[in-house]
Structure 1
Amino acid sequence: MALYPAVDAIGPVGVITETHPDKAMRDAGREADKRFSAWAVSVGFRDDIYQVIKAYAETSPPLGGEDAKLLEDTMRDYKRNGMHLSQEKRDELKRLKTELSDTGIEFDRNINEADMYLEFTAEELAGAPADFLSDKSLQTDGGKYRINVNVSWQRVAVLENVASSDVRFKVARARFQRAVEANMPLIRKMLERRARIAKILGYDSWADYRTETRMAKNAATAIEFQEQLTKGLEPKFRTELSRLHELKAQETDDPDAEIDYWDVYYYENQLKKSEYNIDTEQLKVFFEIDRTLDGMFRIFEELFGIKITRIEPQYKWIDDLRLYAVSDANSSAPLGLLYMDLYPREGKYNHFAHFGITSGKRLDDGRMQRPVSALICNFPPATADKPSLLSLDDVETLFHEFGHAMHNILSMANYASFFGTSVPRDFVEAPSQMLEFWVRDKSVLDRFAADYRNPDEKIPADVLASLDEARLATAAIFERGQLAYSLIDTRLHSLGKPGQCPKLTKYINGIAADVYLSYPEDSSMIASFGHFTGYDAGYYGYAWSRAISEDMASVFRDSPGGFMDETIGRRLRDEIYAPGSSRDVEYSIQSFLGRERSMKPFFDSIGIRDQR
């Protein structure tokens, strides 16, 4: 309990560090985060506190529910911190963990500040959407276009549409060249520190240490899951690549042309246009940002029995910051607050993420402290000619991150360590991935997706059917791309001695080539891989969670009410979002499903029908 005020104080610092427009504030935030992290590490090694809790645990107190779990988890974590070891080893662990924390903060800062700009002529960008080429914010005084490869909507617009393979290659390579010089030494340093910590604590590897408290329980299970999935996807993956190869051969008049990493987005987009009559750029008119946000809020108000109200924030770090109050629809009891920072700017965190600002928990006087969350996004801003319009992928990302916010805000756990998204890393994505399925359902989309120029015009049913077919046509390519990331992460952290791997870039690119496609030469994706800190030895959790979310989504899909079935929506809130990790998440999943978990819905979703 004594740690709660400190944890709540550092929450806003994380958002300031990643989003504040003033670099001096961002730097101050990183310094505060560094000091807090060092203090937090030292608290974990306080022998006086450990001895008191240990003595209490040895009395076998008659605890139940969350209280019993909290004591059990606390004693487990003390052991994982090495408090049962000699003072000499504890001192070494404390030093290593402090160094690891400091290095991780520096690693993240280098990524955020490593803006990578490329300039191209209009001729080089042939094929790019007209709206993209008319965007004055991208145009230079010299008549060229300045592309920031850190900004997803700019990068993807080029990779999906520009006909020049050379331009696409340059953009893909630049993305993986960010912070290489600064971060490659830090990566090796972190790998060495992590491996040493694991060895002192008696684990074979950092991956074994990290997975012990997750659903997988050990690195071998995590690797087996990834390798079996890789193997199961192989036939469909090769078939899908073959189809893209046919398109490239036709376009280039070269029957021997190979599909490269920087070709995938482009030829997937060509496939959508040629075989499914889908133009993803044209679909953006249906997703004006304000209408999309309002529609999303109304959908989950209905499903979860909540009310979402926009209010004026007392403090703004940017002028267009949004703040929403979430309350229970029946009792009007407050549930939490949600900030939204929607658009990119220099120095800002350049992906999409949910940040916890204030933790939820029950206070000593019995009252609940409700959580505060923030969604940090980088959607295309409005221009002089049109409002902010989202791609379908953007909308799925929005629903996904909103799922994290709902997981946090709807939690009813008593302790912060069990609250909301404080669940095993290989489960945390499932409650957010769940909400992506609402974006694929016509009855749901018809509630808000409409042409901003003519709100009576909805997305035709045949277009949505074609979108689903197109997604299925390249589903294995997507999954194998994700598996390349996850296997790189898990295998790097399974090395008992990172010195066994003197050439990290070669090792990483070799895994990518085996599982997916070769990354651009002279680049190293790991240098700008933000998941290397926080998600270390945990990226496999995206696929693990996706299998769970597909299974849970099948409950809605198979119900008479479909994805707007309020009874199942309340069950999702009560059995998945509300408990957090106050109980075993496996129990929560089965309580929602009404049965044991199954892999069948996941394999069905990617077009593999003969696996369970």
Structure 2
Amino acid sequence: MSSNNPFLTKFTGKDEAVPFDQIKVEHYLPALEEAIKIAKENVAKIKANTAAPDFENTIVALESASELAEKIALTYGNLEVANADEALQALAKDIYPKLTALSSDISLDPEIFARVKSVYDNRASFKLNGEQNRLLEKSYLSFARNGALLSATDKDKLRQIDLDLSVLGPKYSENVLKATNAFEMYLDKKEDLEGLPEGALEAAAAMAEAKGKKGQWLFNLQIPSYLPFMTYAKSRPLREKMWRAYSSRAFKGEFDNQELVKKIVTLRAERAKLLGFKTHADFVLAERMAQNPLTVFDFLQKLLTASREAGKRDVAEVQSFAQQLDGLTDLKPWDFGYYSEKLKEDKYAFNEEDLRPYFKLENVVEGVFTHAKKLYGLTFKENKDIPVYHPEVKAYEVFEEKSGKYMGLFYTDFFPRETKKGGAWMTQFRNQGLSEGVLKRPHVSIVCNFTKPTPTKPSLLTYDEVRTLFHEFGHALHGMLSDCTYQSLSGPNVYWDFVELPSQIMENWVGEKEGLDLFARHYETNEPMPAELIHKLKASQKFQAGYMSCRQIQFGLMDMAWHTADPSLIKDVDAFEEQATADTRLFAKVDGANSSVSFSHIFAGGYSAGYYSYKWAEVLDADAFEYFKEKGLFDPEVAQKFKENILSRGGTEHPMELYKKFRGREPDPKALLRRDGLI
């Protein structure tokens, strides 16, 4: 069996990279079954050990007990969202429940917990260092938070809830993907395309041709197609059609997620109550910097107070501009992006499309690498011999420039395809830390959905896509620079309201001339981006900050509402959403539009009761970047402090302690409002 299943033999490639070229769909389940058997044998050995429980024979042994299962789970989980055909997708309903059952078996095992508790209760006698103490605490809490203290009956209830949830999340996200792919708008009249930039038209023509409709233009709900249409298409009826299609994905119809939303929040609430928490949000936030729902509501409310008036002014300004330009008296959500872009052009003599020629994807990638070199001394070398899971994926080896030390592998996967979920994310195929008893370097990957090259043009990114690339690369640095002992504490394995600091701070450099000068060059002439254009870009950065802030706060409050309410009282998903977001809305609700049913972040992506963390981390990143600005954007001392105290330490200490070591004090909440020009 093992001889021909790549998962069950040692990976022999560069630094044991995943041999994607050898792994087939039929390998996953048999390998996982074998890995689960091994994990159970390892757990049995821990229980059979007659020596008194201590840190090594219990906590470290547990940390590595399911290593093989985790390796398979990481590979499958990453491909299931980045490159899954029907056959791979179909495995989800078998794989996730098996993994969930394994983790329930371990976390609900009374003998194992007795050993963990014994080590935890006697921790003072073990002379543990800071990181060991943190791992012990995390292990103990993880058992407690997963039901170890429950009665046998309640353990069974919990196990069933976890199994049910392991199937509902992937199902929800599959519905969103299918609903997104189901909408296609073919256009064949030139007048319908008025206003659209050449790049968008070329991409739409190429998509139509690929579907056998040569001579037409295809627009769909994937962001590289949808956003340019909403921003530049002059045809109001077609913008409305696109907006309604996008905003009603998975709401009613064939891929309706309403019942799933109710089931998921009901199960989460039951799980929290079972574990002694008032709500799912209370459960989640106990392991966050914010600590409880009250803090989060208070935090979002304060930001809303500072943002709402500005947001109303932003909408009023666009409304009066639309009236002046086209006599439009009733601005609707599908008009906002279009007139907002026109207003920006009018105000700053600046069009987002003017930036695109300076953002050739290859140059932006070089640019992000240059930032990593100047700030943290890293270099990247592409290695075409490392197997990848799709021809568009590239693999790099990462080194420390000065010492030549090998730091890990880095994969990039940039373009949309029908087998890939929307959005952008960073993930790992291997965490940094102990693996098979040896300290190993991480294998990090970033996955995006960027504008594709066309027959006549390379991939030219929007400014937003450039920021997204820097953002995900910030997460990647958190993985690559990790210098911890235990995988579960390494890299981005930190509190969720801290995890966005390394990513969001990276976006700041692309708002500065000094950062842009390193890579923003015209794809045809190689001329650097003109200072005047950078000046306009900077001036436009605060444009509609109030509107954008209200939008993020709206998602944050909606998430908190879903996870603090009593689900038995929620009869109507749409009515509940409307009530939860009433204070943040800058437009009247449109019938048929609903966000909850396609809000994958919170219903299928791990951000439940955590969406506020984007805003929370924005406060951290605005405050941290002010430090760089005071000392110099590439100041080696500040960069070294950030690397040593934040990027390399993972979750080995409480985030606030790490932050204070870097900054010398707690973050200043007003830093964000200063940056957005809201105070």
The TM-score bracket by the shorter chain reads: over 0.9
TM-score normalised per structure 2:
0.85
Judging changes above 3 Å, is the alpha-carbon distance between structure 1 residues 353 and 169 closer, same or farther for their aligned structure 2 residues? same
Partner of 1:271: 343
Task: Name which of 10, 30, 35 aligns with 2:73.
Answer: 10
State the shift of 1:224 in Å: 1.0
Distance in 1, matches of 2:262 and 2:139, equals: 31
- Give the equivalent residue in structure 2 for 1:117: 184
Aligned to 1:57: 120
Q: Does 1:250 align with 2:324?
A: yes
- Partner SS state of residue 13, structure 1: helix
Distance change >3 Å, CA 477–CA 85, structure 1 → 2: same
Structure 1 counterpart SS, 2:379: strand
Tell me what 1:605 maps to: 675
**Secondary structure of the corresponding residue to residue 173 of structure 2:** helix
Alpha-carbon displacement from aligned partner over 1:462-504 (angstroms, at most 9, x marks no partner): 2222222222121111111111111111111001x21212111
Name the counterpart of 2:38: none
Partner of 1:575: 645
State the SS of the aligned residue for 2:409.
strand
Alignment of 1:444 onto 2:518? no
- Give 3-state SS (helix, strand or coil) of 1:169's partner: helix
The answer on 1:223 being equivalent to 2:286 is: no
Secondary structure at the counterpart of residue 459 of structure 1: coil
C-alpha contact (below 8 Å) 1:34/1:105 kept by paired residues: no
Is 1:487 the equivalent of 2:557? yes
RMSD (CA atoms) = 1.8
Deviates more, 1:538-547 or 1:32-41: 32-41
Q: 1:176 aligns with which of 243, 247, 268?
A: 247
Bigger Cα displacement from structure 2, 389-398 vs 139-148:
139-148
Q: Deviations over 1:314-341 (max 9, x none)?
A: 3232112100111222332222211111
Query: CA distance change for structure 1 residues 90 and 415 in 2, over 3 Å: closer, same or farther?
Result: same
For residues 109-131 of structure 1, the C-alpha deviation after alignment (integer angstroms, 9 at most, x for no partner) is 22233313223343233211123
* Structure 1 stretches lacking a partner, 5+ long: none
1:557 aligns with 2:622: no
Alignment counterpart, residue 587 of structure 1, candidates 628, 632, 657: 657
Partner SS for 1:563: coil
Q: Deviations over 1:31-71 (max 9, x none)?
A: 32342233223322122211111122233333231111111
Q: Note the C-alpha offset of 1:510.
A: 3.7
2:349 counterpart letter in structure 1: N
Residue 170 (structure 2) pairs with residue 108 (structure 1): no
Encode CA deviations 1:345-371: one digit per residue, 9 max, x unaligned: 112122111122111113464x42111
Structure 1 partner of 2:266: 192
Matched, 1:139 2:139: no
2:404 maps to amino acid: S
The separation in 2 between residues aligned to 1:19 and 1:199, in whole angstroms, is 35
| Distance in 2 between residues matched to 1:413 and 1:314, nearest whole Å | 25
Point out the more displaced range, 412-421 or 161-170.
161-170
Deviation string 1:247-276 (CA, Å, 9 cap, x unpaired) is: 12113314xx24332222212211221110
Distance in 1 (alpha carbons) for counterparts of 2:97 and 2:206: 35
Identical counterparts, % of pairs: 27
Would the aligned equivalents of 1:489 and 1:537 in 2 still touch at CA under 8 Å?
Answer: yes
Partner of 1:476: 546
| Length, aligned pairs only | 601
**How far 1:380 sits from its partner (Å)?**
1.3
| Separation in structure 2 between the aligned mates of residue 267 and residue 485 of structure 1, nearest angstrom | 23
Q: Following TM superposition, by how much is the alpha carbon of 1:219 offset from its aligned partner in structure 2, in angstroms?
A: 0.8
Deviation of 1:30 (Å)? 5.7
Please give the residue correspondences for 1:526-545 in structure 2 after superposition, counting only pairs within 5 Å: 526-532=596-602, 533=604, 534-545=606-617
One-letter identity of the residue aligned with 1:388: S
Name the CA distance, whole Å, in 2 between partners of 1:59 and 1:453: 67
* Preserved contact between residue 478 and residue 502 of structure 2 (Cα < 8 Å): yes
CA distance in 2, matches of 1:551, 1:30: 43
The 1:290–1:142 alpha-carbon spacing in structure 2 relative to 1, beyond 3 Å, is closer
Gap runs ≥5 in structure 2: 1-63
Q: Is this contact kept in 2: 1:411–1:578, CA < 8 A?
A: yes
Task: Note closer, same or farther for the CA distance 1:199–1:29 as it changes in structure 2 (3 Å cut).
Answer: closer
The offset of 1:563, in angstroms, is: 1.6
Quote the Cα distance in structure 2 between the aligned partners of 1:592 and 1:321.
Answer: 35
Aligned partners of 1:352 and 1:376 also within 8 Å = yes
Pairing 1:392–2:392 present: no
Matched with 1:205 is 279
Cα deviation, 1:82-117, whole Å, max 9, x if unaligned, reads 221211111111111111121112112222333132
CA distance in 2, matches of 1:520, 1:502: 20
Amino acid at match of 2:370: R
Matched letter for residue 126 of structure 1:
E
Residue 566 of structure 1, CA deviation: 2.2
SS in 1 for 2:398: strand
Q: Counterparts in 2 of 1:239-318, with a 5 A limit?
A: 239-254=313-328, 257-318=329-390
TM-score of the pair, normalised by structure 1: 0.94
Residue 29 of structure 1 deviates from its aligned partner by 5.3
Q: Distance in 1 between matches of 2:122 and 2:272?
A: 30
